Amino acid sequence: MIVGIGTDIVKVERVRRLLERYPNFVERVFCAGEITHCQGKANPEQSYAARFAAKEAVMKTLGTGWDGMVNWRDIEVFTDKNGKPGILLRGGALERLTALAADRVHLSLTHEKEYALAFVVLERQKLDSLRVSE
């Protein structure tokens, strides 16, 4: 059962400017693994932009927006050994996921020249996670 869907598109140039203008942007928004991944790419701005879009898309699926409950670093984008992107949630993001009784997060990332896009789906697979209203 789908619990939430979120998508976001980010202009790579916008992220490039943020990287140039705000030295603490990377550490404030991204986790250590994300930084290592992005810095290892030929075009780090594209990778940062895709991960930034993923974080915003996750917030949309959680229904939190920027209410302060979820921190940027509560959402971490990783790449598995096969190159598939995934999401690791902690802190306020994990609390919200638990409240929604979701147990899977699906992520798709893409970038083409000047744009990066993320699509996120929250899913509830376990039957014992279903909520019955009275």
* Residue from 81, 84, 111, 126 carrying the catalytic annotation: 111
User: Helix/strand/coil (H, E, C) string of the chain?
Assistant: CEEEEEEEEEEHHHHHHHHHHCCCHHHHHCCHHHHHHHHCCCCHHHHHHHHHHHHHHHHHHHCCCCCCCCCHHHEEEEECCCCCEEEEECHHHHHHHHHCCCCEEEEEEEEECCEEEEEEEEECCCHHHCCCCC
Judge whether 111 counts as a catalytic residue: yes
81, 102 contact by CB (below 8 A): no
CA-CA-CA-CA dihedral for 38, 74, 117, 63, to nearest 10 = 180
Options 11, 55, 60, 106, the catalytic residue? 60
Catalytic center residues: 60, 111
